[in-house]
A and B are shown apart, each in its own frame.
Chain A
Amino acid sequence: MAETSTEGTGTIEALQLVPKAEGRQSMKDFKSDQEVRWCPGCGDYAILAAVQGFMPELGLAKENIVFVSGIGCSSRFPYYMNTYGMHSIHGRAPAIATGLAASRRDLSVWVVTGDGDALSIGGNHLIHALRRNVNLKILLFNNRIYGLTKGQYSPTSEVGKITKSTPMGSLDAPFNPVSLAIGAEASFVARTVDSDRKHLTSVLREAAAHPGTALVEIYQNCNIFNDGAFDVLKDRQQAQEAVIRLEHGQPIRFGTDLSKGVVRDPATGDLKVVPVTPSNESQIVVHDAHSASPTTAFALSRLADPDTLHHTPIGVFRSVDRPVYDTQMADQLDAAIEQNGKGDLGALLAGGDTWTVVG
């Protein structure tokens, strides 16, 4: 199991303005009184349990935690968290959360979204949240299908997918959410899997500690409309060859007995998977999540086959320090007061050119 490094991010900076809980918290503190209404067997249950289980570790006052969601199965998530929450409208959660986070730096703001919500109707808000680097943690539940509308293909579905709306197979090429996020200047991008609670929790831990926008893609099984979509990554035997676990500072190796590795193709500069041999062992790429350049992280995101999911990297692709939007916004307010003094309403309304009418 990859315990990804927190080096270079700093828990303190990301959460320093959020008040701490007074007593010890348990998972129970984060369960709301609402009945969970996902389909039995849905991957969302596992993610909910992982998040509820992880929250006490942060030790934040739960009244200072807010979950904001859009529309879709995953977006029911806030109802089940005993924190503040808003179930908003389709695709708009990042925009709403941006306003909240930018105006309330004492809050820990989380966005829960799905592949349709974040990448289709809300694609614009997602990319702009990422480039702005607002202090948001975005959990993107990717099940590669539309669940709540009962089974149409999604923007992450594989080409040729037969669904109710594509009886002859879907035509659109899918998004790779990690590639998209890196291309949108994201400062933190990770991928994990619903069923791997330990890995999921470790990624949440790093995301929470990251100052700025963190995008966590969570492969999530929809057992009704797209069952088994990620089996290749979950089946112990198949996963050996399919999953590449990224660990900062470690050579990128996987497969039975770590027999495969990722090297740079000297001809193209691209990454490729090769059998590890004594002669090429020294050339295996060492994962650097904190690299200033996104190039290698992007190349890693392209290793996965969009159809078979073979060579799917999981873990933190990229985690770099970049100015945080809400911090800078607050700094500008402070600077304005420093430069011009605290706003004087009487002086503002009077302006420069006035005249007086006397009785």
Chain B
Amino acid sequence: MTSQVSSPAEQADEAVVGEQRKEAGAKDVRRLDRVIIRFAGDSGDGMQLTGDRFTSETASFGNDLSTLPNFPAEIRAPAGTLPGVSSFQLHFADHDILTPGDAPNVLVAMNPAALAANIADLPRGAEIIVNTDEFTKRAMQKVGYAASPLEDGSLDGYSLHPVPLTTLTVEALKDFDLSRKEAERSKNMFALGLLSWMYHRPTEGTEKFLRTKFAKKPQIAEANLAAYRAGWNFGETTEDFAVSYEIAPATKAFPVGTYRNISGNLALSYGLVTASRQADLPLFLGSYPITPASDILHELSRHKNFGVRTFQAEDEIAGIGAALGAAFGGSLAVTTTSGPGVALKSETIGLAVSLELPLLVIDIQRGGPSTGLPTKTEQADLLQAMFGRNGEAPVPIVAPRTPADCFDAALEAARIALTYRTPVMLLSDGYLANGSEPWRIPELDELPDLTVQFTQGPNHTLDDGTEVFWPYKRDPQTLARPWAVPGTPGLEHRIGGIEKEDGTGNISYAPANHDFMVRTRQAKIDGIDVPDVEVDDPHEARTLVLGWGSTYGPITAAVRRLRTAGESIAQAHLRHLNPFPRNLGTVLKAYDKVVIPEMNLGQLATLVRAKYLVDAHSYNQVNGMPFKAEQLATALKEAIDG
């Protein structure tokens, strides 16, 4: 009865690999190459946890995967309403994949609101598992269902599995000394058990997780385990679920190594701890809680045994201020925030430009302007990062492209900050921050050496032969100034936000000196050594698609689709937004057409057009969600043909 097929793939793979196995007395087992599942429910239903657990099971099984958590900014919006729906989408496969997938093959809807909010994203034929217990008249009316969608034929084109999840969960837990309400709370684990059975997921990880999470409440741990197992057994025994699916591990997709699943914010946190180790400098984080960056503060505060100091400041300004103070003292200093926080920090970033101290400013972008869409993704802070300060205050910008890449991007931002003694902006976003994917754990000896030398003695000889320390005497190669930290005898000096005389660093209002210093600060940033941008162009295409940041997955998926369909298109993706790679101008001019998809109204396109006089075309989406591969492929096809 189930008609699940592999929908048009990112790489337009063959449709489902229909190999069936049937052991005597057992149910059908079908093999799929990939599946997209979306768990959806009320904010309080535990959908994020359910998705996280399914993801961990899938990761440990060895599939490639990509996730898209999607939740409201309210902690608990009114129960059963559309604004309260929280969902978690997971795409997993036996091969290399790039996005959380455009359209789910399977929707788990814990209530009518979850069904109503997500049904439009489902292709016909998709499987829908609904918790029928929640489809009461009142609950359905709340989201505008006049008649039950489970009965009025509106879901005829789908493969519907009506399951009384709540009743079954309560029944499974009847031997526990729990109130009905308490027992009901385990229904997400029942759903997880059912889906785990459907997709042959390993269960040890979740069982261990539940025992650890509820170590202090063994009864709750056992109840959740019982619900989880009941869900599994329900799948195995009930006739409604006639088929289960196997998705083989993606062994060929991965280079040799040890892997784990990792989210962008976790990878970024690890990148910062690692940078501190590789630089042999203590890590100091000054931060103020803000979505979607707070998880970095939470994570780093757990690693005090690495010498990590985390400071939850009274506001965004104090967060970066404290970090800058720590940088003056010789720490690897970091502040983490989102767009509204960057706005508040901009004066201090300007001070850091003037002081020429290393400082990492991590912006996990979200929908704007103002408070905007706190839990949704966007790339609209690029121009803020580039220009959002008074005066000529250039700041290098780096951007990670995938969740796991946040680790490398943090190391790269640290390299630039420490080498060039400058604040560096790192632009991640909500999609990367909360999304996850497999990550090859690096060997420690592969990590870059980031060690720095503090200045220990005088660096200048006056005409009379006196040896002195000049805080603004630069390294001729990098134009970086010396980093002399308090506690170093003989190098006492004062720095500040007032213009400084070249060399001595003393206050100077001299016109020629200011002109020189402005140009020198700019030249230092322009001269940062960044690798050339690589172009993927196997067919000598005439059209180039250029991206930056988290659009890497959808753009690459779209490019694969086009190439599979016989189109020629070249792709390049920027890690460095300031300065641009040296070869970027040449690359852009080699193509007849340049298309730049962005989750903003064309900010990279603006920079590229201004700098290279290239007629780059923007393709934009600012709806708080990542691009879908199908949609991008269509847009790129139009560009190729147009």
- In angstroms, Cα B286 to Cα A351, docked, is 25
Interface pair A345/B444, CB less than 8 Å apart:
yes
Chain A residues closer than 8 Å to B355, beta-carbon distance:
86
Chain A residues closer than 8 Å to B494, beta-carbon distance:
32, 34, 78-79, 81, 84-87
Quick one: closest B residue to A357, CB to CB?
B254
Query: In B474-506, which residues have CB < 8 Å from any A CB?
Result: 486-498, 506
Query: In B236-280, which residues have CB < 8 Å from any A CB?
Result: 251, 254-261, 270, 273-274, 277
Interface pair A102/B311, CB less than 8 Å apart:
yes
**Which of A32, A84, A124, A336 lies in contact with B305, CB distance below 8 A?**
A336
Quick one: closest A residue to B331, CB to CB?
A103
**Which of A87, A336, A349 lies in contact with B498, CB distance below 8 A?**
A87
Interface pair A125/B56, CB less than 8 Å apart:
no
Interface pair B441/A350, CB less than 8 Å apart:
yes
**B539 beta carbon closer than 8 Å to chain A:** no
- In angstroms, Cα B496 to Cα A85, docked, is 8
Interface pair B492/A84, CB less than 8 Å apart:
yes
Interface pair A86/B495, CB less than 8 Å apart:
yes
Query: In A323-359, which residues have CB < 8 Å from any B CB?
Result: 329, 332-333, 335-337, 339-343, 345-346, 348-351, 353-359
Shortest Cβ gap from B496 to chain A (Å): 3
Shortest Cβ gap from B302 to chain A (Å): 9
Interface pair A96/B324, CB less than 8 Å apart:
yes
Query: In B50-76, which residues have CB < 8 Å from any A CB?
Result: 56, 59-62
- In angstroms, Cα B492 to Cα A284, docked, is 49
Chain A residues closer than 8 Å to B284, beta-carbon distance:
99, 102-103
**Which of B251, B274, B311, B497 lies in contact with A357, CB distance below 8 A?**
B251
**A64 beta carbon closer than 8 Å to chain B:** yes
Interface pair B498/A97, CB less than 8 Å apart:
no
- In angstroms, Cα B311 to Cα A12, docked, is 26
Chain B residues closer than 8 Å to A107, beta-carbon distance:
329, 486-487
Quick one: closest A residue to B507, CB to CB?
A79
**B330 beta carbon closer than 8 Å to chain A:** yes
- In angstroms, Cα B491 to Cα A355, docked, is 51
Interface pair B348/A106, CB less than 8 Å apart:
no
The bracket for how many chain A residues form the interface is 35 or more
- In angstroms, Cα B351 to Cα A88, docked, is 7
Chain A residues closer than 8 Å to B348, beta-carbon distance:
89, 92
**A309 beta carbon closer than 8 Å to chain B:** no
**Which of B322, B347, B442 lies in contact with A99, CB distance below 8 A?**
B322
**B577 beta carbon closer than 8 Å to chain A:** no
Known contacts A104-B487, A128-B314: does B496 contact A88 (CB below 8 Å)?
yes
The 23 listed contacts between A and B (C-beta, < 8 Å) are: A19-B487, A63-B489, A66-B328, A71-B497, A79-B507, A86-B494, A86-B496, A88-B497, A89-B347, A92-B318, A96-B324, A99-B326, A100-B325, A104-B486, A124-B315, A125-B317, A125-B318, A333-B305, A337-B304, A343-B307, A354-B259, A357-B254, A357-B257
Task: Supply 13 further A-B pairs (C-beta < 8 A) apart from A86-B328, A358-B256.
Answer: A32-B494, A63-B488, A86-B325, A86-B355, A87-B497, A95-B322, A98-B321, A103-B330, A342-B305, A350-B260, A354-B259, A355-B259, A357-B255
Query: In B13-67, which residues have CB < 8 Å from any A CB?
Result: 56, 59-62
Which residues on B are within 8 Å of A, measured CB to CB? 56, 59-62, 205, 251, 254-261, 270, 273-274, 277, 282, 284, 286, 303-307, 309, 311, 313-315, 317-318, 321-331, 333, 347-348, 350-351, 355, 441-442, 444, 486-498, 506-507
Interface pair A333/B309, CB less than 8 Å apart:
yes
**Which of B261, B328, B329 lies in contact with A353, CB distance below 8 A?**
B261
**A62 beta carbon closer than 8 Å to chain B:** yes
Counting from the closest, the 4 A-B pairs by CB-CB distance are A87-B496, A99-B322, A99-B325, A95-B321
Interface pair A343/B486, CB less than 8 Å apart:
no
Shortest Cβ gap from B397 to chain A (Å): 22
Shortest Cβ gap from B63 to chain A (Å): 10
Chain B residues closer than 8 Å to A145, beta-carbon distance:
none
Shortest Cβ gap from A221 to chain B (Å): 24
Chain B residues closer than 8 Å to A128, beta-carbon distance:
313-314, 318
Known contacts A95-B317, A353-B205: does B493 contact A84 (CB below 8 Å)?
yes
Interface pair B273/A348, CB less than 8 Å apart:
yes
**A61 beta carbon closer than 8 Å to chain B:** yes
- In angstroms, Cα B351 to Cα A114, docked, is 20
Query: In A59-73, which residues have CB < 8 Å from any B CB?
Result: 61-66, 68, 71
A 105-122 to B, binary, CB cutoff 8 A, 1 in contact else 0:
011000000000000000
